Structure 1
Amino acid sequence: MGVFLALSSAACYGVVDFAGGLLSRRAHFAIVTFVGQVGGLALAVVLAVSVPAEHVGSADMLWGALSGLGSGLAMHFLNRGLSRGAMSIVIPISAVTGVALSVLCGVCLLGDRPTALAWLGMCVTVPALWLVSRGDRGDRGGKPDGGNGPGPLPDAGVEVGPAVSDGLVASAGVAVQYIGLAQAAPAAGLWPVPCGRVAAVAVLLPAAYRHREHFRQPVGLLAAAAVTGAGAAGGLALYLLAAQQQMLALAVVLASLYPAIPTLLGLSVLHERATRAQAIGLLSAAAATVLLTLG
């Protein structure tokens, strides 16, 4: 069940990433991120009320809040990178480095002991995520990009330094998000998730205020951003349930397979062409899923 929950979390994140990639091209990234977290908070409260909780301690709330700080920072810098047209740089760095940091923390600090098959699956996952997200860097400048988000996103002339910085900060946020949420006690139910959304909204509020003039968007676009954030909150809830049933390292790796989803959606819905790197990455991600499931 833990494997199914983690893969379902990846599916949620993948669909959200696909939609968020579109929205970040139509509105300012800070507004899309902030409205998304508000929508995520609304759904998180509904989910938390729906799932019985034996005891919600202050430590659980603090771990949830720490996770939310990571989420807020990750989405802010990820969307900033996407808005700069640096998708082919930011997505691979944030996905791969975030997984690596989370797994290392689980093994070195939390005592996770993956099996040999699980280790093999994790080793396959890292290059698979890179290939799926990165695609072919030669496609830059107008062809459909192989990363998270559909359609053409010209990024010719992007400065590599700022894009790498966005990706690294986003990856650190991803690691904090996963590690913090996994520390909450199972007795707390899903309440750490809304605690995290409150923290995410708080940390993103200054940026949203600085760009408040960009809130003048069509109602449909703002609603779409809120729904996208709600989907991300649903993915976090699924991840939390998965982490309660299996070790952190496996839950993180399985949940982090999400870059394959927007790539597949781009191929099937938008009729994009898969690069050779993406095809290899997708096959490798499938093989990693099997290994992690067996492990």
Structure 2
Amino acid sequence: MFTVFLGLSSALTFGAADFFGGIAAKRISPILATAVGAVAGLAALVLIFPFVPAVWSTEAVLYGAIAGVNSAFAIGLLYACLAIGPMSILSPVTAVMSAIVPVTVGLLRGESLGAFGLVAIPIALIAVVLVGFVPEKDAVRPSAKALIMAVGAGASIGLFFVILDAAPDDSGIIPVVGNRVVNALLMFGLFFALAALAKRKRAGAPAPARSSLWRRGLYFAMIGGTLDVMANMAIITGVRIGDLSVIAVLTALYPAGTVLLAAIVLRERIAPVQYVGIALGIAASVLLVVGG
């Protein structure tokens, strides 16, 4: 029961984090939004770390570093595709893929999903197709580029679950801390490198002004990063006390939070067939839980 609570909590938190991260990526950039989010999440972890039992080990740090490289790619790609939009379509695509990867790993390791779980995987693949199929001219239409990015982001997020699951059980939140440190270093390094190249190209031209819109982008990135690390803590706890496949597919319900916020704040419109795809994606996640 506690595993279910952790999975659903991480799903709602991830959904809100993706919404704020996607908004931040539109105002600043996906790279800077990811870097700022990583630092904000790290600051939250520093405050929490003294109160969480943990045993330092080379293995714990190594898995944290690997998770950091993976999540830098995953979150950067996710924020980039959400910045292109529409959030309410691309978020479910990443969710389905994030469930398929750890479930596949679980099956290869001998986990049994049962009849419901085996049916859920093809349903999830159908959902990916439906959310990208838009028959109406005035409906929200995701580009092929955005869909490919969403699939890649989802697969990387799924791999993140697998990495955290492999970390030592007594490592506490050390892998999450390592993840944030490496993530921040990589993304800030990339951001400053690209900024230096851009500055060289426009040598002699006045620097662009930092608007209030840009500053709000930084605030949104910090909120998204803090929420993201809270979800990570729920995930690493969940995979230690329960099955990898169960916590992964429960977390894959996170589009509910993103879709709700996108509909309320951004007024995004979705075609009926896309609603079917979103519903199938959520149903596939539920079936995977039942099968597990």
TM-score of Structure 1 vs Structure 2, range by shorter chain = 0.7 to 0.9
Q: Which has the larger radius of gyration?
A: 2
Distance 1:210 1:86 in 2: 29
TM-score by length of 2: 0.79
Moved more, 17-26 or 226-235: 17-26
Q: Which residue of 1 aligns with 2:111?
A: 112
Distance 1:201 1:69 in 2: 10
Cα 1:121/1:169, change in 2 over 3 Å:
closer
1:65-214 alignment, distance < 5 Å: 65-85=65-85, 91=91, 94-108=94-108, 110-121=109-120, 124-128=123-127, 131=130, 134=131, 137-138=134-135, 145=140, 160=144, 162-163=145-146, 165-212=148-195
Distance 2:240 2:104 in 1: 18
1:56-71 alignment, distance < 5 Å: 56-71=56-71
8 Å Cα contact 2:23-2:83 kept in structure 1: no
8 Å Cα contact 1:124-1:288 kept in structure 2: no
**Offset at residue 49 of structure 1 (A):** 2.8
Distance 1:76 1:274 in 2: 25
**Offset at residue 262 of structure 1 (A):** 1.4
**Offset at residue 261 of structure 1 (A):** 2.1
8 Å Cα contact 2:18-2:79 kept in structure 1: no
Q: Which residue of 2 aligns with 1:10?
A: 11
Structure 2, unaligned runs of 5 or more: 200-207
SS of 2:113's partner is coil
Structure 2: which amino acid aligns with 1:289? V
Distance 1:176 1:68 in 2: 12
8 Å Cα contact 2:87-2:259 kept in structure 1: no
8 Å Cα contact 1:65-1:199 kept in structure 2: yes
**Offset at residue 215 of structure 1 (A):** 10
Distance 2:62 2:137 in 1: 42
Alignment partner of 1:292 is 2:275: no
CA distances 1:236-286 after superposition (whole Å, capped 9, x unpaired): 111111111222122111111212321133345555545323443454425
Match of 2:272 among 269, 276, 279: 276
Cα 1:117/1:88, change in 2 over 3 Å:
closer
TM-score by length of 1: 0.78
Alignment partner of 1:222 is 2:218: yes
Moved more, 17-26 or 64-73: 17-26
**Offset at residue 118 of structure 1 (A):** 4.0
8 Å Cα contact 2:18-2:258 kept in structure 1: yes
Q: Which residue of 2 aligns with 1:242?
A: 238
**Offset at residue 112 of structure 1 (A):** 2.4
8 Å Cα contact 1:135-1:275 kept in structure 2: no
Cα 1:293/1:2, change in 2 over 3 Å:
farther
**Offset at residue 95 of structure 1 (A):** 3.3
8 Å Cα contact 1:88-1:137 kept in structure 2: no
CA distances 1:149-168 after superposition (whole Å, capped 9, x unpaired): xxxxx86xx5x3x4455335
CA RMSD after TM alignment? 3.2
